[in-house]
Chain A
Amino acid sequence: MSVQSPISSVNDFVVRFANVNGSGSASANELFARSILRHGVPVSPRNIFPSNIQGLPTWYEVRVTEAGHLGARGGVDLMVAMNPQTWDKDVASIEPGGYLFYDSTKPMPTSKFRSDITVIGVPLTAITNSTYTDPRQRQLFKNIIYLGALCALLDMDPKLIEQLIGEQYKSKEKLLSSNIHALHLGRDWALQNLKCPIGLQVKKSDKVGDRIFMEGNSAAALGAVYGGATVCAWYPITPSSSVAEAFTSHCKKLRHDPETGKAKYAIVQGEDELASIGIVIGASWNGARAFTATSGPGISLMTEFIGLSYFAEIPAVIMNIQRAGPSTGMPTRTQQCDIIACAYASHGDTKHILLFPEDPAEAFEFAAQSFDLADRLQTMIFLMLDLDIGMNHRLCRPLKWDDARQYDRGKVMTAAMLDEPGRDFGRYLDVDGDGIPYRTYPGTHPTKGSFFTRGTSRDRYARYSEEGAIYADNMQRLVRKFETAQDMVPRPLQANAAKPTKYGVIYFGSTSPAMDEAIGLLEARGHQLDRMRIRAFPFHSSVASFIADHDFVYVVEQNRDAQLRQLIVNENGIDPVRLVPILHYDGTPITARFIANAIGDHQDHLKVTPLRKAVS
């Protein structure tokens, strides 16, 4: 075997922690990621975890990236192997020239290592056991001790980690000092016994700026608070549960009446997804802003109510934190696989509005906006996140709110309006030609404006009718309303290649950071691509013109069946051959390497040598 020189890299490498679920490693690993941020170096961490509470393997990956590439990179430069169960696979996944960090308390046979990597053994258990007697403490501080050792090995500033620990245990002096003690225990041992630093190093930089570090689910929940949601009904399901939990904790801090202490919100954990969406629809019908958060299986259960929302025109918001399907699928793995299921959810002819945020900042904005859209368009709005955005901390621009912004409650007829002479109220009457009728809240007026809401067909005045012409008239108006929505939802963002090109690429949601990075990799291979990031369905007219402007367009997505591509073909009447699917669907987040290879290989094949040249 050839001698592999150790990888040498400053502020650009991937560390992966292999742990056992439930061992308390999560907070130590997050502390590691945050402390690198405090060095002014961007990081992109990802949880890779099983559908389990205790005992199964779990990984935490931190991509250290001065260049700010926030997508997953693929490959591991430093493996912190704390789980004997996954040892072989973990060791095998290290890049040639990479590093293996392990607990050397018990000797390992040499056959368990590789010759092309650097092995760093720290007797973590021995150090821990000689310092602590309490088993729980041994467990927790072992994690902080390896963090201390990494601090020495990667040449990190221990003061920055101490500072973070200080913020975390602000009012718990005992925990603070014992954590700092454990940190130095590990760091000192490494400095005294190992060659520090190794080839991978963290140097102070200034690339983080004013960006914040936040999970998409928490951001979406905060968007719901800012967007004026007062009713939340939900049923626990990974990876969406933390939306409702974050909404609860945000509301506890931000939504209690300062005088009475009472809650300006109501959160109900439903008995299932059916009840959750029923509560949301009941509350919205009655004039409150309401939402639920769920994932694929929940969407399947909710579809009957989703059809009611569409047909009876009741505003509602569903945050769908997508996970790998079908059926129970891979509950803790990411995908963008509910595009079709949500766009056409429910029986009969239905179409729904989908929003695709790319990161927590946009999840916050779109979540707040979804309540305006729901009220304005009187229909269901899907906020389409996925596990990758929802459950991982992502570095993103700070959240912003314009205090002059007013909620758009849409077309709601008040008692005073109903009393205006000549005013005609028909619940399903299209008075403005935009397909959007007026509604009234229950209890508005003693004698005017009441109507009977139903999922059956009715005329413009909400009177039951099975007349074909009346039914068709209503269905046509719903199409008009959907067309109106096209100009209200967030528009696609377009970025042109450095040089003119015949090729384009369409992508959306959590693919964003990997796509941005892939563009650079493709340029290096000599391929130029214009980009369009779709942010909503129905598609804006610029989507069709973008496709028309290019010979063909790659559509990058994280599902097997090219669902966004199907939707574009179907809704815009595009010739399918013009759209080349680039599909990643193994449950891991899509990487720049994957995109660049897939598109690069396709582009290389296009460079056919002209026949005449080949013959001569």
Chain B
Amino acid sequence: MTYIAKPKFHHPGLKKNELGYTHRDYEGKISTLCAGCGHDSITASIIEACYELSIEPHRVAKISGIGCSSKTPDYFLGNSHGFNSVHGRMPSVLTGANLANRDLIYLGVSGDGDSASIGFGQFAHSIRRGVNMTYIVENNGVYGLTKGQFSATADRGSKSKKGVTNTDNAIDLVAIALQLGASFVARSFSGDKSQLVPLIAAAIRHKGASFIDVISPCIAFNNHAGSTKSFDYVREHNDAVNRLDVLTGRDPITVDYAPGTVQVVEQHDGTRLALRKIDADYDANDRLAAMTFLQKHAAKGQVVTGLLYVDPDAEDLHAHLDTVETPLNTLEGKDLCPGSAALEKINASLR
């Protein structure tokens, strides 16, 4: 109920982050989604990740397409500009916004209908361009706003609430993102906040195209027996490859390592990602191995979660275009207009 104002007061003893912001400073309007929606858990994880990273809340641009998931940017980071654009077109709008001002953090929020069907092309091309963004798909396998039609990520053989069996093959956006060269690829589950929060934080700190597929059960239309995106199904079939800790430069290097091996990845901005591996064989720096691993487990009916691939030395679109460090939207006439003398020379060359 966005027209209901959210109360502003909060407990005076609320914890503050390094910039002095409380958790509340990262919240948005009250959600209008169904009570218990997985998307609201993702919203909470985004808020948590931004709080923990001590991001200036207004220095984030939240961009989405159309659908239940695309409504969520209104429910977090209320002091940020948001753009609920056109169905399936979040990636292009985000790309343009990013070109205009390279200094903001770009959070693209999309759904499975938005990214795997109508916007499949834009998803693919924004990934292959290496746009510096965190691209989150809130994946419930179903069209919620139009009441329960299958989406392209619904598994073959899964059943809709009305009992219809899906006969089309599913698109695995994670597999596609890996193939297209995303430099940060992860999958998580909306119900697993301890895994999701550090993944979002790491994705935000990653310079390049970060993609996170978050399975997010639709409690209204896709949480029944026969669904492969329900809470019960995902909990039973979830196979996490690793658990992540994000260490910013200021943190002490020692962490509470869980049993198993630890892989530390240092990102461009000095952030260290400590991967507590559950699967000892898993190497998050090997794209080919990640693709194989994913396919093998998919064949066994397992949903692989965790940080599947990261290239810490990735370059982004601005690097490819060799643009100036100053954001393009701050350049003025004196920076951009060649002036009358240059025009006279051009005139002379056209005679």
Interface residues of A (CB under 8 A from B): 37, 208, 210-214, 222, 225-226, 228, 230-231, 233, 254-255, 257, 260-268, 270-272, 274-288, 290, 304-305, 308, 398-403, 405-407, 440-447, 450-456, 463-465
Instruction: With A226-B343, A282-B95, A286-B61 as known contacts, state yes or no: A271 contacts B125, CB within 8 Å.
Output: yes
CB of A305 within 8 A of CB of B337, answer no
Instruction: Report which residue of B85, B103, B321, B338 has the largest number of chain A beta carbons within 10 angstroms of its beta carbon.
Output: B85
Instruction: With A225-B338, A403-B340 as known contacts, state yes or no: A288 contacts B100, CB within 8 Å.
Output: yes
Give B92-136 interface residues, CB cut-off 8 Å to A: 92-101, 103-104, 121-122, 124-125, 129
CB of A447 within 8 A of CB of B100, answer no
Instruction: With A451-B81, A452-B73 as known contacts, state yes or no: A463 contacts B2, CB within 8 Å.
Output: yes
- Is B325 part of the contact surface with A, judged by Cβ < 8 Å? yes
- Is B63 part of the contact surface with A, judged by Cβ < 8 Å? yes
Instruction: With A272-B121, A282-B92, A453-B82 as known contacts, state yes or no: A212 contacts B350, CB within 8 Å.
Output: yes
CB of B100 within 8 A of CB of A287, answer yes
Chain A residues whose C-beta falls within 8 Å of the C-beta of B82 in the assembled complex: 450-453
Q: How many angstroms from the CA of A274 to the CA of B330 in the assembled complex?
A: 26
CB of B74 within 8 A of CB of A452, answer yes
CB of A279 within 8 A of CB of B95, answer yes
Give B50-95 interface residues, CB cut-off 8 Å to A: 56-59, 61, 63, 73-74, 78-86, 89, 91-95
CB of B100 within 8 A of CB of A231, answer yes
- Is B351 part of the contact surface with A, judged by Cβ < 8 Å? yes
CB of A442 within 8 A of CB of B97, answer yes
Q: How many angstroms from the CA of A161 to the CA of B139 in the assembled complex?
A: 67
Q: How many angstroms from the CA of A398 to the CA of B349 in the assembled complex?
A: 11
Question: How far apart are B351's CB and chain A's nearest CB, in angstroms?
Answer: 6
Instruction: With A275-B125, A278-B92, A464-B2 as known contacts, state yes or no: A453 contacts B99, CB within 8 Å.
Output: no
7 sampled A-B residue pairs with Cβ under 8 A: A222-B346, A263-B321, A282-B85, A282-B97, A407-B337, A446-B79, A453-B81
CB of B129 within 8 A of CB of A268, answer yes
Question: How far apart are A265's CB and chain B's nearest CB, in angstroms?
Answer: 7
Q: How many angstroms from the CA of A51 to the CA of B204 in the assembled complex?
A: 46
CB of A228 within 8 A of CB of B89, answer no
- Is B336 part of the contact surface with A, judged by Cβ < 8 Å? yes
Q: Which of the residues A228, A254, A278, A455 comes within 8 Å of B342, measured between beta carbons?
A: A254
Q: How many angstroms from the CA of A211 to the CA of B339 in the assembled complex?
A: 19
Q: How many angstroms from the CA of A110 to the CA of B14 in the assembled complex?
A: 100
Question: How far apart are A143's CB and chain B's nearest CB, in angstroms?
Answer: 23
Q: How many angstroms from the CA of A405 to the CA of B59 in the assembled complex?
A: 32
A-B residue pairs, 10 tightest by C-beta: A282-B96, A278-B92, A288-B100, A442-B81, A287-B329, A279-B96, A283-B96, A282-B93, A286-B100, A212-B350
Instruction: With A288-B99, A403-B340 as known contacts, state yes or no: A262 contacts B325, CB within 8 Å.
Output: yes
CB of B329 within 8 A of CB of A441, answer yes
Q: How many angstroms from the CA of A405 to the CA of B346 in the assembled complex?
A: 19
CB of B338 within 8 A of CB of A263, answer no
Other contacts beyond A212-B351, A265-B323, A266-B321: 4, CB < 8 A: A264-B331, A282-B96, A443-B61, A452-B74
Chain B residues whose C-beta falls within 8 Å of the C-beta of A268 in the assembled complex: 95, 99, 129, 317, 321
Chain B residues whose C-beta falls within 8 Å of the C-beta of A228 in the assembled complex: 331-333, 336-337
Q: How many angstroms from the CA of A272 to the CA of B350 in the assembled complex?
A: 33
Chain B residues whose C-beta falls within 8 Å of the C-beta of A264 in the assembled complex: 323-324, 328, 331, 335-336
- Is B3 part of the contact surface with A, judged by Cβ < 8 Å? yes
Q: How many angstroms from the CA of A147 to the CA of B238 in the assembled complex?
A: 75
Chain A residues whose C-beta falls within 8 Å of the C-beta of B323 in the assembled complex: 262-266
